Chains A and B, each alone.
Chain A
Amino acid sequence: MEPDLRVVPTGDWDPDDPESFGRVYDEHYSRIFNYIRYRVQDSATADDLTSITFHKALDRRFTFDPGRAGIGTWLLVIARSTVTDHHRRRGRRNRMLGWLKGEQGSVPDPETILIGTQESDGLLAAIARLPDRDRDLLGLKFAAGHTNRTIAEMTGRTESSVGVIVHRAVARLRLLLDGERTGR
């Protein structure tokens, strides 16, 4: 069952009231952090992007319309666009680095490689090896707790397409975890 992503009942949401924002923060912090963590290489970056997400939400809180979407969904939309911006900026930077080094394609920066190797959690390490599209959908499905239908609405895909991608991503993740266990 999909969690109640509104959590703060519509009638209780008051953008002028710090208590309202604090309640929303407490209820949704883990969900937002976990979703972002699915999509980036390390916890420090997830911290940075979670911080940006909530600061953006604070700046835009008067534009949130409880009649249109749950506040959890609204936060997640901000988090998704924040991660997309991050990847875009990073992609540009890596392409520039590659060009300067006479290489083509993306070049992971040393910091990311270091942190990636130090990541001890096998599950996170396996998730990090999935394509970004899979990480996005797995994050929406499992970290944010959305149904395939809601994910379809958020991502502009069909519900069945979401189901198939999630199913294949889980199967791929299982293979990666099994490979890790057997040392392959």
Chain B
Amino acid sequence: MNERERSLEERLAAADFSDRSAIRYSLRRELLDRIARNDPGAGRSRPQWGRFEMFKRPMPAFGLGIFVAALALVLAHPDGRAALAKLPGLLHIGEHTGIFTESQFSSAQLDSLLAASDVSREKGQSVFQATPYGGWGSTVPPGGDPFIKEVCSLSLAAGMVDHPLLVPTYFHPLLPDRLRFQKAVIMPNGSTMLYFGVGHLETVLTLTSVANGGMVSYMESATTIAEDGSKETTYVQPELEVLEAGDRTVTWLKHSEGARWNLGGIAVTKTDTEIGRFLWEQEGWSCALNGKFLTKDEGLKIIASLRTYKGDS
């Protein structure tokens, strides 16, 4: 074999065309959703666990069957803001954004709430989607379609919502380019999740509408399952810090486990880096910036670099 053929072989071996694949992350979610939904077509049938279980991660400790749920559940209640706002244990980080710091519901109440949510979804009155960054839901406006739309074009996404999108213009030191837009997930009420970057640099900006009195609430919990099958769920106490990012005041919500985070929705990954998420409100929107390994410094730079995008026109 001559040198030219050898170099061509090396080029072939090194070639990776998968960055042109448009479905890598959505397909992954679709497949894992099928397993979690106990899709009858997905191999052998399994007991139904309910969607909270999707976030559980096996943790080897003390010889017990221990699972940890690094769970961030977003509940947008357009009509329930007043009721929610009065709940004890709801820590406000903005007028329309709060964090549950203690359980608001008994186990039976939670089951009932989830059952009602399932009925609402079956009737097409609301939608829900699990993501590595938490579950995201939306009500369906009267006359609206009960579908979550996903598009891979930023201009297309801008044309599908009646609000401006926010786009980071931040240059990451490990990337040759800006955090590149990957896709937008659009809820029936216009709430939008924008995915930028890839791999461990994936960053997700969520814009949830609170203009009509909505309230967005977050919670993180850890569930321990003992050998006898009994469960105990504890609410992770948030460690908050109010910071300035450009002209925005934001709240840094450090992941209290510090070294543990969901990676791609399925794995527990340990890192020595302090990671977490940012929350803030602006112009009728409750905003969140998440990332697989979002550090405080990096998040602040990304938020400071956010620019309004209204489409190509």
Measured CA separation A173–B23 after assembly (Å): 29
Please, which residue of chain A has its CB at the minimum distance from the CB of B1?
A: A167
**A18, A50, A59, A170 — most chain B CB neighbours (10 Å):** A18
Checking B8, B11, B16, B264 against A30 with a beta-carbon cut-off of 8 angstroms, the contacting residue is: B16
User: Known interface pairs A33-B17, A58-B31, A58-B43. Does A142 touch B12 (Cβ–Cβ under 8 Å)?
Assistant: yes
User: Known interface pairs A16-B46, A19-B58, A22-B266. Does A30 touch B18 (Cβ–Cβ under 8 Å)?
Assistant: yes
Measured CA separation A173–B4 after assembly (Å): 11
Please, which residue of chain A has its CB at the minimum distance from the CB of B4?
A: A174
B10-46 interface with A by 8 A CB criterion: 11-13, 15-18, 20-24, 27-28, 31-32, 34-36, 41-44, 46
Cβ-defined contact, A51 with B266, below 8 A: no
Q: Does A15 contact B (CB under 8 A)?
A: yes
Cβ-defined contact, A60 with B43, below 8 A: yes
Chain A residues bordering chain B, tally (CB within 8 A):
41
Please, which residue of chain B has its CB at the minimum distance from the CB of A48?
A: B23
Checking B4, B32, B41 against A18 with a beta-carbon cut-off of 8 angstroms, the contacting residue is: B32
Cβ-defined contact, B31 with A177, below 8 A: no
User: Known interface pairs A23-B266, A23-B267, A170-B9. Does A51 touch B27 (Cβ–Cβ under 8 Å)?
Assistant: yes
**A15, A19, A173 — most chain B CB neighbours (10 Å):** A19
Cβ-defined contact, A171 with B5, below 8 A: yes
Residues of B within 8 A of A173 (CB): 8, 12
Q: Does A13 contact B (CB under 8 A)?
A: no
Cβ-defined contact, B35 with A54, below 8 A: no
| Cβ proximity bits A18-39 to B, threshold 8 Å, 1 near / 0 not | 1101110110011001100100
Q: Does B299 contact A (CB under 8 A)?
A: no
User: Known interface pairs A47-B22, A54-B27, A55-B31. Does A19 touch B267 (Cβ–Cβ under 8 Å)?
Assistant: yes
Cβ-defined contact, B21 with A33, below 8 A: yes
Q: Does A83 contact B (CB under 8 A)?
A: no
Cβ-defined contact, A25 with B17, below 8 A: no
Q: Does A46 contact B (CB under 8 A)?
A: yes
Residues of B within 8 A of A23 (CB): 266-267
Q: Does B77 contact A (CB under 8 A)?
A: no
Q: Does A162 contact B (CB under 8 A)?
A: no
Residues of A within 8 A of B264 (CB): 22, 26
**A62, A167, A170 — most chain B CB neighbours (10 Å):** A170
Measured CA separation A21–B24 after assembly (Å): 14
**B5, B11, B12 — most chain A CB neighbours (10 Å):** B12
Cβ-defined contact, A61 with B267, below 8 A: no
Cβ-defined contact, B17 with A43, below 8 A: yes
Measured CA separation A167–B267 after assembly (Å): 41
Chain B residues bordering chain A, tally (CB within 8 A):
36
Checking B15, B32, B46 against A22 with a beta-carbon cut-off of 8 angstroms, the contacting residue is: B32
Measured CA separation A62–B74 after assembly (Å): 34
Please, which residue of chain A has its CB at the minimum distance from the CB of B53?
A: A18
Q: Does B146 contact A (CB under 8 A)?
A: no
A180 to chain B, nearest CB (A): 13
Q: Does B137 contact A (CB under 8 A)?
A: no
- Chain A residues within 8 Å of B, Cβ to Cβ: 15-16, 18-19, 21-23, 25-26, 29-30, 33-34, 37, 43-44, 46-47, 50-51, 54-55, 58-62, 121, 123-124, 138, 141-143, 145, 167, 170-171, 173-174, 177
- Chain B residues within 8 Å of A, Cβ to Cβ: 1, 4-5, 8-9, 11-13, 15-18, 20-24, 27-28, 31-32, 34-36, 41-44, 46, 54, 57-58, 264-267
Enumerate 23 A-B pairs (CB-CB under 8 Å) in ascending A order: A15-B43, A16-B44, A16-B46, A19-B58, A19-B266, A22-B266, A26-B28, A34-B18, A37-B17, A37-B20, A43-B20, A43-B21, A46-B21, A47-B23, A58-B34, A58-B35, A59-B43, A62-B43, A123-B11, A141-B12, A167-B5, A170-B12, A174-B8
**Which are the 7 A-B pairs with shortest beta-carbon distances?**
A22-B266, A142-B12, A30-B18, A33-B18, A43-B20, A18-B35, A37-B17
